[in-house]
Structure 1
Amino acid sequence: MIASLARLRALATAVLVLLAASAAPAGAAGLELVWIDRSGAEQARRTLSTDEAEALGAVEIATSTPWTQGVVRFSGPTLAALAALEGGEVVEARLQALNDYSIDVPAEDWAAYDVVLASRADGARMRVRDRGPFWLVYPLDSDPALQTQRYHARMIWQVRRIAFVVDGP
């Protein structure tokens, strides 16, 4: 009986911790941005709050996704705008989520499409439980070529870190 109560208390504590984390302001810890060369040596580093990221100029795209109902208006800075915050030719972005899932996105993607690091969906800030605070969104409805597993896999949510790979100085 005592062991069962201890397990119940531990479970209740875990639930409270999860609820508190999901109630924290979106982007409270910030978005970590680093610029690295091809060997992995760090060239620059910044941390942006959600407000600072949005102040870079929000772009809005309206698209459906496999994970949402109907067309959603996503807004946030483009990946290109974030990559351009430091010098050098960025050739790739390595995005990492809160759960350590990571994906590499070639610069060709954001050169061809308005790939947005969305912080808002239908005007509301995205919380962690809503795939926030940042979700990399492709304008899937704008081009049938984007309706593939390759691009769906690159639409990483709960982004916490982006490492921009720079070619040359």
Structure 2
Amino acid sequence: MAALPGSRGAVQADTTEAVLLTVHDGLKKQVFKLTDLDALPQQQFTTSTIWTTEPTAFSGPALADVMASSGLSAEALTLRAVNNYSITLNSSTLEENAPIVATRINGKTFSVRERGPLWVVFPYDADSRYRSEHTFAASIWQLTDILADTTP
């Protein structure tokens, strides 16, 4: 099993048994395998992105559903990628259907080499508010961790 750069252990994108995402607040944590993410309500949309050459179909659970499933809540969420890139989102920006934690592109799981196995994606074509610099920065690929910041 190959380890992802910067990961805490061996992780493979092509297995449903690997832990793909950890949501924590410093005291409690919830881990998600692909099967766990697939068990959540799924969202799907087709959108163009600044990283792809044509409109692409993305699917996966809404980030709001991932957070609800974790049992953790916070005013701010820090999302971190395999390469330690991180971005902080105000949890009030989470909507019922956006952003999603994409587990599939065009119906197929995708690897680290393809920006996976998890990518936070917004329906950029649906509304101009999704085409801002902050939204693009929050569209973190190779997502591994979410820190629920509970400090006031």
After TM superposition, is the score higher than 0.5? Answer: yes
How far off its partner does 1:90 sit? 2.8
Kindly indicate whether residue 69 of structure 2 is the aligned counterpart of residue 79 of structure 1. no
TM-score (norm 1): 0.75
In the aligned structure 2, how far is the partner of 1:113 from the partner of 1:107?
14
Which is higher, the Rg of structure 1 or of structure 2?
Answer: 1
1:25 corresponds in structure 2 to: 14
Q: Aligned-residue CA RMSD in angstroms? A: 2.7
How far off its partner does 1:94 sit? 0.9
- 8 A Cα contact 1:22 1:127, kept in partner: no
**Identity of matched residues, %:** 30
Q: Which one is further off, 117-126 or 87-96?
A: 87-96
3-state secondary structure, aligned to 1:54: helix
3-state secondary structure, aligned to 1:51: helix
Instruction: For 1:152, give the aligned amino acid.
Output: F
TM-score (norm 2): 0.82
Structure 1 gaps of 5+ residues are 1-15
Q: Which runs of 4+ in 1 moved over 4 A?
A: 21-24, 86-89
- 8 A Cα contact 1:26 1:125, kept in partner: no
Aligned length: 145
Change (3 A) 1:85 1:146: same
- 8 A Cα contact 1:33 1:162, kept in partner: yes
2:101 is matched with which residue: 114, 117, 129? 117
